Structure 1
Amino acid sequence: MPYPLAFALTLLVEAPVYLVVLARCGGVRPGRAAAAALVVNCATHPGLWWVLGRFAAGPAAAYWTAFALAETAVCASEALLLGRPLARLLRSPAPLALPLRAAASLTANAASLLTGLLAGLLLATGR
């Protein structure tokens, strides 16, 4: 899957998750919540894509190990970025609690991961 399509698909899936969590649980206005989703994905997605590209042509075990480690790092990074670093951008009085940010990040990334895998399968089979 080409990178622009993968990034667009990621934003399409992850932004609504972050929007709901930030708006409902953090009292953040929807426009600012959408901006936060864009910021965290711009900070993590290119690095994830680069790392996985380095392992794509190698052994499957190496790729899937890198995949698991990289996705874990992305989830942790996005949860941390949604804290104090983005609280000012969001004009939030205080960042969301870390467990809530971690749950939002895990949910958003799991949803985009599953969507990406499904899209990759559909593209590979020509449907």
Structure 2
Amino acid sequence: MPYPSALALTLLVEAPLYTVALVRAGGVRPARAATAAVLVNLATHPLLWWSVSRCTGGTAAAYWTAFAVGEATVCAAEAALLRPLAGLRLRGPLPWAAAGTANAASMLAGLLAGLLGAARW
């Protein structure tokens, strides 16, 4: 999947999930929640894409290891970035739960897009 499509799919899946979680569970205003959702993805997605794409020429094990480590790192980074961007408390599970859920959903969407041959849209 080309990078612009991957970023668009990520934002299409993750931004609404982050926004709903931050508004409903965190009491964040919708505009601020949506902005935070987009900003955390713009901060982490290019780095993940670059680091995982460097492993495409190696073994499948190397690729999937880099992918798993990269996704875990992205979840942690997005959870940490959500706090100041959305104005959340310094402690609490909401940023971690939102980051884990949003990233799992977009990862699944990307894998399904690849399996269904929709990677060339």
For residues 20-75 of structure 1, give each alpha carbon's deviation from its aligned partner in whole angstroms, at most 9, with x where no partner exists: 11111221111111100000000100000000110011111110110110000000
Q: CA RMSD in A?
A: 1.8
Say if 1:79 and 1:105, in contact at 8 Å, map to a contact too. Answer: yes
Q: Return the structure number with greater relative CO, CA threshold 8 A, min gap 6.
A: 2
1:102 to 2:96 alignment: yes
Aligned partner of residue 25 in structure 2, secondary structure: helix
Say if 1:14 and 1:37, in contact at 8 Å, map to a contact too. Answer: yes
Identify the range of structure 1 (109-118 vs 21-30) with the bigger mean alpha-carbon deviation.
Answer: 21-30
Q: What TM-score do the two structures reach when normalised by structure 2?
A: 0.92
**Which residue does the alignment assign to 2:2?**
2
Q: What TM-score do the two structures reach when normalised by structure 1?
A: 0.88
**Which residue does the alignment assign to 2:37?**
37
**Which residue does the alignment assign to 1:66?**
66
Q: 1:125 deviation in Å?
A: 9.1
**Which residue does the alignment assign to 2:114?**
120
Q: 1:96 deviation in Å?
A: 6.4
Q: 1:124 deviation in Å?
A: 6.8
Aligned partner of residue 62 in structure 1, secondary structure: helix
Say if 2:17 and 2:102, in contact at 8 Å, map to a contact too. Answer: yes
Distance (Å, rounded) in 2 between the aligned partners of 1:14 and 1:124: 18
Structure 1 consecutive aligned stretches of length 4 or more whose deviation exceeds 3 Å: none
